């Protein structure tokens, strides 16, 4: 891929970025979205606007997401928020500005030392 908007998106707020920033916990109902057991592999993108986001809800975190063999150069890095069991194996994110990963209220495992050192919690 070349010059994509956002490379990888799992966002349970859909397009409501203000709610994602404010993180209000709501009761779990039959309409609460659930995303789990996602495996994304062999993705390469140069020149993206954003590497991506994996954003769950406080009451229903995204769970068991694996990114493997992923290479992204982008203007901005990846956000992982309200997620558990996220594994990054052989993932390289190179942003023009900011951190490769911004991790908030999430359990993320990575095998890349550079990504570990640059991640912000």
pLDDT in tens, 31-67: 999 999 999 999 999 999 999 999 999 999 999 999 9
Which residue is listed with tokens 């570990």?
116
Q: How many CB atoms lie within 10 A of CB 15?
A: 7
Q: 91 phi and psi, to 5 degrees? A: -115, 130
Using left for φ > 0, alpha for ψ between -120 and 50, and beta otherwise, residue 120 falls in: beta
User: Which element (helix H / strand E) includes 12?
Assistant: none
| Structure confidence at residue 3 (pLDDT) | 87
Query: What's this model's pTM, rounded to 2 decimal places?
Result: 0.88
C-alpha–C-alpha distance, residues 17 and 38, integer Å: 22
Quote the CA–CA distance of 89 and 66 in Å, as a whole number: 8
pLDDT of residue 117 exceeding 80, the answer is no
Contact between 70 and 43 under an 8 Å Cβ cutoff? The reply is: yes
Provide the residue ranges of all domains of the chain, joining segments of one domain with +: 6-118
Q: What is the pLDDT of residues 63-113, one digit of tens each?
A: 999 999 999 999 999 999 999 999 999 999 999 999 999 999 999 999 875
What pLDDT shows up at residue 18?
78
């Amino acid at each position: 891929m070349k010059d994509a908007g956002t490379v990888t998106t799992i966002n349970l707020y859909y397009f409501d970025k203000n709610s994602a920033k404010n993180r209000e916990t709501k009761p779990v109902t039959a309409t609460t979205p659930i995303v789990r057991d996602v495996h994304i592999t062999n993705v390469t993108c140069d020149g993206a606007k954003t590497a991506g986001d994996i954003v769950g809800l406080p009451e229903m975190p995204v769970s068991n997401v694996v990114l493997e063999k992923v290479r992204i150069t982008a203007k901005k890095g990846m956000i992982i928020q309200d997620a558990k069991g996220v594994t990054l194996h052989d993932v390289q994110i190179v942003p023009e500005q900011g951190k490769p990963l911004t991790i908030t209220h999430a359990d993320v495992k990575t095998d890349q030392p550079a990504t570990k050192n640059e991640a912000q919690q």
